[in-house]
Amino acid sequence: MNTAATTRLDIEKIRAQFPVLNQLVNGKPLVYLDNAATNQKPKRVIDALTSYYEKDNANIHRGIHTLAERATKAYEQTRHAMQQFIHAKHVEEIIFTRGVTESINLVTASYGRAFLKAGDEVIISGLEHHSNIVPWQMICEEKKAILKVIPVTDIGEIDLEAYYKLLSAKTKIVAVNHASNSLGTINPIKEIIDAAHNVGAVILIDGAQASAHLPIDVQELDCDFYCISSHKMYGPTGTGILYGKKDLLEKMPPYMGGGEMIKEVTFAKTTYNDLPYKFEAGTPNIADVVALNEAIQFINELGKENIAAHENELLSYTVKKLSAIPHVKLVGTAKEKVSVQSFIIEGIHHFDIGQMLDTRGIAVRTGHHCTQPLMDHFGIEGTVRASFSVYNTKDEVDQLVEGVERIVNFMK
Ligand code: 7TS
């Protein structure tokens, strides 16, 4: 662990930038450990939203008046910032969507509908969020393609050997996450991508749980699609991106029809706009896209390696403390993880644990985390999940641990 990097961040100073953290919940200082669901927003992101509406609000790409020009410029600046953030080769490879769910649906509805044929195979993993399962089931059903699933090991890692065996000339698409939301497992996506390409398949990476924690270089990874949600990386809800390789995006049909995505419309025929606008029909979520730029700068200024070093330290501390409590069982103990820890307490329902922790001001997620097949694999209904962001502290972990200890002592 890079402790030298950890000391570089002044966590109290960082916390002070997040107004929401400064409140009492049920009479106790809020301990927010539900960051994998959505993390909190620094003041600069909130200010960017307010400032956009107070000073610049206008529809983009259409008007020639000053406000329209300002709004368009700010919106396109975020596209450039995101291009750099994931090191995309071309700016038009960045498509704004509502987030990962819409990005995946865009690919299944456009690429999947255009290129999948009966008997083709699509591979996902047993670690996926429902949003990287259901859209593939829907398109496979429509196209009579076959969905295959890479099994997961007992510690919550993708079984790579099994994956290699599933691959064949029939494989047309592989879709896996960069990091698991339920278990935190970081997947060996470079190996997964290269193996998919070896059989001529295209590959989509769901980066929902990676963008705030892990370095992303889409050119080095050589993935075909990469999906990000803004709200999981300190940005606003309701926006995110689909990255796609230009040559693929160019041959894909539009996903939605409407304004903005056209070049010319007649009743006889419509021609479509160039990338990225071909995939951005209608008035987009301008304000949130503009504010997303601040979230990108926030991460860039802290440095992802510094963020990860701090979060890894919190995770190791959590694992050490929780695993020492009788009746607590950790779920997901992969070697490489982002800062997520799921656990159960034998004989106590996860909802009850979540509710009891909430009375102490501690926010955790409970349930299946939109990964029901993964819970089935472990033979459980759900877990309690603590997940960390850069503003969390060891003191907060201590409060979680104390809360869990009290629950165990009280219930057992
Ligand atoms: N993929 C992963 C790995 C996720 O963690 C999530 C959201 C999604 C896709 C969907 O992202 P969205 O922004 O389009 O909703 N995960 C969670 C979670 O773990 N708890 O609440 C949302």
For residue 150 the two structure tokens come to 């890479």
Q: Work out the number of other CB atoms within 10 angstroms of the CB of residue 95.
A: 24
- pLDDT surpassing 70 at residue 5: no
- Domain 46-300 is found in CATH 3.30.230.70: no
Ligand 1 centre to CA of 180 (Å) is: 9
Q: Whose CA is nearest to atom 4 of ligand 1?
A: 208
- pLDDT surpassing 50 at residue 344: yes
Which ligand 1 atom is nearest residue 128's CA?
3
Ligand 1 centre to CA of 7 (Å) is: 30
Using one digit for the tens of pLDDT, what is the confidence trace for 128-169?
Answer: 999 999 999 999 999 999 999 999 999 999 999 999 999 999
Where are the domains positioned within the chain? Answer: 3-39+304-411, 46-300
Give the single-character DSSP code of 271: E
Report how far apart the first and last C-alpha atoms of the chain are (Å, whole number): 36
Please identify which residue in the block is written with the tokens 């993964």: 374
Q: How far is CA 116 from CA 3, 18, 227, in A?
A: 48, 45, 20
Using one digit for the tens of pLDDT, what is the confidence trace for 278-304?
Answer: 999 999 999 999 999 999 999 999 999
Ligand 1 centre to CA of 208 (Å) is: 6
Question: How many whole angstroms separate alpha carbon 117 and alpha carbon 121?
Answer: 9
Q: How far is CA 307 from CA 229, 233, 253, 322, 360, in A?
A: 18, 12, 39, 22, 27
Strands 121-125 and 146-150, bridge-based pairing: parallel
DSSP per residue over 100-137, as a string?
HHHHHHHHIIIIIHHH--TT-EEEEETT--GGGTHHHH
Sheet holding 171-177, edge to edge: 94-97, 240-244, 225-229, 202-206, 171-177, 121-125, 146-150
Has 223 been annotated as catalytic?
no
Q: Which residues line ligand 1 (CB under 6 A)?
A: 36-37, 99-101, 129, 131-132, 177, 181, 206, 208-209, 229, 365, 369-370
Report the pLDDT averaged over residues 220-245: 98
Residue from 181, 237, 180 nearest 35 by CA: 181
- pLDDT surpassing 60 at residue 372: yes
Q: Give the model's confidence band at 190: pLDDT under 50 very low, under 70 low, under 90 confident, else very high.
A: very high
Q: Give the model's confidence band at 105: pLDDT under 50 very low, under 70 low, under 90 confident, else very high.
A: very high
Residues ≥6 apart with Cβ < 8 Å to 58? 65, 67, 68, 70, 71
Which ligand 1 atom is nearest residue 99's CA?
14
Burial of 269 (0-12, 13-18, 19+ CB in 10 A): exposed
Measured N-to-C along each axis, helices 304-323 and 394-411 cross at an angle, to the nearest 10 degrees, of: 20
Please identify which residue in the block is written with the tokens 């009280």: 410
- pLDDT surpassing 70 at residue 193: yes
pLDDT at position 220 is: 98
Report the pLDDT averaged over residues 342-348: 96
- pLDDT surpassing 70 at residue 204: yes
Q: Is the CB of residue 148 less than 8 Å from the CB of residue 105?
A: no
Burial of 195 (0-12, 13-18, 19+ CB in 10 A): buried
Indicate the CATH number of 3-39+304-411 among 1.10.630.10, 3.30.9.100, 3.90.1150.10, 2.60.40.10.
3.90.1150.10
Average pLDDT over all residues of the chain:
96
pLDDT at position 69 is: 96
Ligand 1 centre to CA of 262 (Å) is: 31
Report the pLDDT averaged over residues 332-361: 97
pLDDT at position 7 is: 53
Q: Whose CA is nearest to atom 21 of ligand 1?
A: 37
Q: Is the dihedral of CA 233, 215, 100, 83 positive or negative?
A: positive
Which ligand 1 atom is nearest residue 232's CA?
13
For residue 232 the two structure tokens come to 């999981």
Percent of the chain with pLDDT over 90: 96
Report the pLDDT averaged over residues 2-12: 68
Report the pLDDT averaged over residues 344-350: 96
| The one catalytic residue among 140, 223, 227, 370 | 370
Q: Give the model's confidence band at 64: pLDDT under 50 very low, under 70 low, under 90 confident, else very high.
A: confident
Which ligand 1 atom is nearest residue 181's CA?
5
Distance of CA 287 to the CA centre of its chain: 20
Would the pTM count as exceeding 0.75?
yes
Tell me the chain's radius of gyration from C-alpha atoms: 22
